[in-house]
A and B are shown apart, each in its own frame.
Chain A
Amino acid sequence: MSKVLELKNIEKTFYAGTVNENYVLKNLSLDLEEGDYVTVIGGNGAGKSTMLNIISGALMPDSGNVVIDGEDVTKLKEYQRAKYLGRVFQDPRMGTATHMSISENMAIANRRGSKRGLKWGLPKSEEAEYKELLSILDLGLENRLDTKMGLLSGGQRQAVTLLMATIQRPRLLLLDEHTAALDPKTAAKVLEITDRIVTQNRLTTVMITHNMRDAIKHGNRLVMLDAGRVILDIKGEEKQNLTVDQLLKKFEHLGGESTLSDRMLLG
């Protein structure tokens, strides 16, 4: 099994040297194997989003290395790493261009990783492919290719963002609490679509979630972060048989520093 992602001794402090100094990631190391579908949980401030932002290059680590497919990408800028990564954000507005149409958005995503030149950016020949992909979502979007992204609901936008993140097969799919801003029913639907896309394309995936039940139900590996370190890493059969109660007991046993938020327990 080859390693898709290696995080090596990542350190990150915000506002170093000021009263607001915040030591977020402490010597964090994590390896992802091909085909891993990891759900990441942890309380507020555990460093989940910071970790994802360091993988994507939106943030630079103070020290440590990010390695994708054996290539050290620590120094690569966010846009340069994009060829390896598919990303969906927490805010549904963040993943798509509001004033551009669905098909324009998909055409932009379809060129992730390739050079953008003076060829026509929205060839008619690609529309059939977009329609087919959109029809998988089962949201009726396949007949609304020219609709502006801003007119779609949050759930619809997240679903399209998922397609955009995976239209060019990424080496690693990063989902940053991508259902947290949606109502429960829509969230469930988007998670179901997520599972389908990840399984069909056998994508290596990191999904951050606030919700323990979702973390247990989805994926084949569960990682718990606390105070900037991995305190729990459950895979295989153990992950499949995991319950919320067991997870809570493990957390207490490990003496996690941060308190679990109500939202995380009840979700």
Chain B
Amino acid sequence: MINIILGAVSLGLLWAIMTTGVFLTYRVLDYADLSVEGSIVMGAAIVAKLITGGVNPIIATVCAFAGGLAAGVVTGLLNTKLKIPSLLAGILTMIALYSVNIRIMGKANITLLKSETVFTMVETIGLKGNTGVIIVAVVINAAIAAALYWFFGTELGCAVRATGDNRKMARAQGINTDTMKILALALSNGLVALSGALIAQDQSYADVSMGQGAIVIGLASVIIGEVIFYRGNFLNRLISVVLGAVVYRIIIALVIEMGMKPTDLKLFTAITVAICLALPTFQPQIKAKLAKILPQKKEVK
């Protein structure tokens, strides 16, 4: 059981990087970006191709991040310069990336079983298995959270936040909202690709279909994080997103342990997200019901 939880935590922390990317677009920019389904695979594809080609895993991982940045820029240009609606712009990039990713890898999947990865590198200093992955992932997540907290406190970062909050206000204050959108999409997809690169190294393979449903997993994690953990200042929100990704993986590990078929997972996740997204719609009714129940409870006391 401990091993299952540790495995879930390590996987959750790797997916947390992707979740942070989804948080940037979905929450900060107010833009549902589907290109992440392609950019997570792109990160895995780039890292797998480079590592099997003999490139240092750390450099390969940085290259994967850069690839994601580029993918985000493409979605941003489709949306802002060609005026393609945001959902469609993301779908176009996602579809295009499927072909691009196969071109990068030269085939549909690459194994990294016999290759050096960032995780085998930390094994050499004595951090084996899940412990090694968890330590590496915690360090990377902390670095990302710190960097993003700093960035979104700068003038430029505030301009991105204002763009996500109120585009009309942002333009009236002289902010180039198109550039801010492209910047946020690039950052987001960069993080998603970085996540994909690390997941591939952890699982020792890159597969062209590993991104399927990634956006829903990302949304589920963002929402779980917001519901369960404190939602205050920006740093707390970033931390809650990371924790949300971990909790999501623990929940998944537990339901599989309880006998759910792994192939039913996507349905389970989709239903979870649908319920969470529908909550605001039903909140008045729920509150009214609670109001009926709660005073009675007080009387009992």
Contact = CB atoms under 8 A, between A and B. Distances in A.
Q: Bound pair: A and B?
A: yes
Interface of A: 56, 58, 77-80, 82-83, 85, 87, 89, 93-100, 104, 107-109, 111-113, 116-122, 164-165
B183 to A, nearest CB: 11
A108 B169 CA distance: 10
A164 B159 CA distance: 15
Contact of B154 (A83, A98, A117): A117
A197 to B, nearest CB: 17
Contacts of B166: 93-94, 96-98
Contacts of B176: 77, 79
B155 to A, nearest CB: 4
A87 B168 CA distance: 11
B177 interface: yes
Given A96-B169, A98-B165, A116-B159, A121 B174 contact: no
Given A98-B165, A98-B166, A100-B165, A82 B171 contact: yes
Contacts of A108: 158-159, 162, 170, 173, 175
Contact of B169 (A97, A113, A117, A121): A97
Interface in B146-197: 151, 153-159, 161-162, 165-166, 168-177
Contacts of B161: 97, 99-100, 104
Q: Which 7 A-B pairs have the closest CB atoms?
A: A82-B174, A97-B165, A121-B158, A116-B155, A121-B155, A112-B174, A87-B172
Given A79-B175, A82-B174, A100-B162, A117 B155 contact: yes
User: Which of A83, A107, A120 has most B Cβ within 10 Å?
Assistant: A120
B174 A79 contact: yes
Contacts of A117: 154-156
Contacts of A56: 172
Contacts of A121: 153-159
Interface of B is mostly: helix
Contacts of B153: 120-122
User: Which of B155, B162, B165 has most A Cβ within 10 Å?
Assistant: B155
User: Which of B159, B162, B176 has most A Cβ within 10 Å?
Assistant: B162
Given A98-B165, A112-B174, A107 B154 contact: no
Contacts of B171: 58, 78-79, 82
B156 A118 contact: yes
Given A97-B161, A100-B162, A108-B158, A116 B175 contact: yes
A120 to B, nearest CB: 6
9 contacts: A79-B176, A97-B169, A104-B158, A112-B174, A116-B156, A116-B158, A116-B175, A118-B156, A121-B158
Interface in B169-227: 169-177
A94 B175 contact: no
B55 to A, nearest CB: 30
Contact of A111 (B151, B155, B157, B169): B155
A114 to B, nearest CB: 8
Nearest to B28: A99
B127 to A, nearest CB: 34
A99 to B, nearest CB: 5
Contacts of B155: 111, 116-121
Contacts of B170: 79, 97, 108
A16 to B, nearest CB: 19
Contacts of A97: 161-162, 165-166, 169-170
Given A93-B166, A118-B151, 4 more contacts: A79-B175, A82-B175, A87-B172, A99-B165
A82 B171 CA distance: 7
Interface in B11-38: none
A89 B173 contact: no
A118 B154 contact: yes
Given A117-B155, A122-B158, A79 B169 contact: no
Given A96-B166, A98-B165, A164 B173 contact: yes
Nearest to A57: B171
